[in-house]
A and B are shown apart, each in its own frame.
Chain A
Amino acid sequence: MTNPTELTLAEAASAVRCGELSATELVAASLDRIGRHDQVLKSFISVYEEQAREVAKAADMLTRAGHSMGPLHGVPIALKDNIAMRGLRTTAGSKVLANWLPEADATVTTRLRQAGAIFIGKTNMHEFAWGGTSANPHYGAVRNPWNTERFPAGSSGGSAVAVAARFCQGAVGTDTGGSIRLPSAINGTVGLRPTYGRVSNHGIVPLAWSMDTAGPMTRTVEDCALMFGAMAGFDANDAASARRTCDDYTRHLKAGCRHLRIGIVPGYFFEHLQKPVHDAVRAALATFVDLGAQVVEVEIDNIHGNISAQLTIESAEPSTYHQRTLRERPDDYGDDVRTLLDAGELLLATHYLQAQRYRALLRAEFMDAFASVDVFVCPSLPFAATRLGETRVAIEHGVDEDMLSAIMQFTGIASLTGLPSLNVPCGFDPDGLPIGMQIIGRPFDEATLLRAGHAFQQATAFHRQAPPLA
């Protein structure tokens, strides 16, 4: 039989359900692989070896008795370490919360547990999710499994690496300014930033309240749909949770993308990016056209300005949340995050509110555009994985730019507008490093993103390639 770690989430869940594979074997294979490779990759902060084996035994007993907990029954899943698990250390990648033992599960933890997921561990991340490199000063720098000298992006770097390295079938990430989509693109995995309010943030350490989301990270779009279905839904404990019925995200997954109208913004989506990224996303659009979709050019007049708006909001809100701790325990923050938190305190209220007004403007333009298109497709970020430790990146020949601003070029659109966005692997650069594209859709229309992404994966093989771990 295939090595269990090579199975996709859908395949693994089916094998466990049919009794072809036990949850105990699946969990053991995951733990073994983590033990062999994570000393280098550092994708986990905590691994729940004993607990995961015990839960797997219980899952197998249920299976033998003819019961299934749900669509994720017996499948190893990892949680980003800013998501609460009752009684288990939840650090948010920080020294500040190094000894925090939550008294209750986050809502997503509860929902995944109820769907049958087995939590294999908690993943490493950029400290407090405030940054895009996952170079964590307290728990080690996460490394990219495609080339361990390259960065994994972030902030959910550990979650993306754990999935790409076949340590687990799925992981949960959080995305404020791109923290699911960026590491998904850089590590060649699928990641969904849901519509703001679709997945509960209750029990998740916040970064920026008005943009925070949590979502699934997997190898395939089908897996993403399965996991998302288990996570999504109204939660009275989250004031921003949407009172809206969820779709069945797997029901129309195989309906293809014939007649799908794909919007592009030529003056922004294909400007200022590395050539391999440009070419891969253009080739992906050609694939969609081959599948029966139509590409429509759209103008979004006010798209420029989104990076500044995002940086303003994403710095002012965390600085508010951390205001007291920053004064009481400043030395417990890593240097880069401390600088960003200091800086966020010194922006003006007018800067913040103008940025929030800009969001309304940008959202209105995108909502108008959805009269003529069903989704937008654009790169997830303008460059492939940089060397570990870099804080600057060259996108255009000979011009170095600040990494934090550059990395947000395309992810800010969905973050600011609250629209859902799915990263799908769409190519590799000449060094064999993954490239990803975003499919951005209407509010609460994740089903269409998943349908388009699944059709793309049925026509391509990028998602089937695995990183060459020794």
Chain B
Amino acid sequence: MSNQTPASADDDPRLDVAALARVADLPLTPARAAAVEAVLSVWWRDANELSRKMSAERHRALMPVTVFTPPHGAAEDSPQS
């Protein structure tokens, strides 16, 4: 691979799962890291593809499906909401 071309997960699906787990403060043995890598190598590739699709200009206005729901029965200006 050229030094000038940054590698991506799509080019090289071997992920450093152990390093990622350290960042997440998630203890993983080498055996468990291998099991997780087998899953993540596919998930990351597909998630990156979806991210590229959703980054298209035509989707710029889309909001994620995450909402803040006021507690039922609380007034609009209630401090809990």
Contact = CB atoms under 8 A, between A and B. Distances in A.
Interface stretch (A255-263, A349-357, A427-435): A349-357
Interface in A233-267: 234, 236, 239-241, 243
Contacts of A239: 69, 71-72
B43 A357 contact: no
A308 B69 contact: no
A340 interface: yes
Contacts of A40: none
B28 interface: yes
A307 B46 contact: yes
Interface stretch (A277-285, A309-317, A368-376): A309-317
Contacts of B40: 343, 346-347
Contacts of B39: 339-340, 343
Contacts of B36: 339, 342-343, 346
A260 to B, nearest CB: 29
Interface of B: 17, 20-21, 24-28, 32, 35-36, 39-40, 42-44, 46-51, 53-55, 59, 62-66, 69, 71-73
Contact of B32 (A315, A339, A354): A339
B32 A350 contact: no
Contact of B50 (A243, A342, A355, A363): A355
Contacts of A360: 62-65
28 contacts: A239-B69, A302-B53, A305-B49, A308-B47, A308-B49, A311-B46, A311-B47, A326-B26, A327-B26, A335-B35, A340-B39, A342-B26, A342-B35, A343-B36, A343-B39, A345-B21, A346-B21, A346-B40, A350-B51, A351-B47, A351-B50, A354-B47, A357-B63, A357-B64, A357-B65, A358-B54, A359-B65, A360-B65
A355 B47 contact: yes
Given A241-B72, A348-B47, A353-B66, 9 more contacts: A210-B65, A308-B47, A342-B21, A342-B35, A347-B40, A351-B47, A357-B65, A360-B63, A360-B65
Contact of B59 (A339, A361, A363): A361
Contact of A312 (B28, B47, B55): B47
A300 to B, nearest CB: 14
Contact of A243 (B35, B46, B72): B72
A355 B51 CA distance: 8
Contacts of A339: 32, 35-36, 39
Contacts of B28: 342
Contact of A236 (B25, B46, B73): B73
B16 to A, nearest CB: 10
Q: How large is the interface on A (under 10, 10 to 19, 20 to 34, 35 or more residues)?
A: 35 or more
A297 interface: no
Contacts of A327: 25-27
A345 B42 CA distance: 15
Contact of B42 (A330, A359, A402): A402
B12 to A, nearest CB: 16
Nearest to A236: B72
A351 B28 CA distance: 22
Given A347-B47, A355-B47, A305 B66 contact: no
A305 B54 CA distance: 10
A152 to B, nearest CB: 23
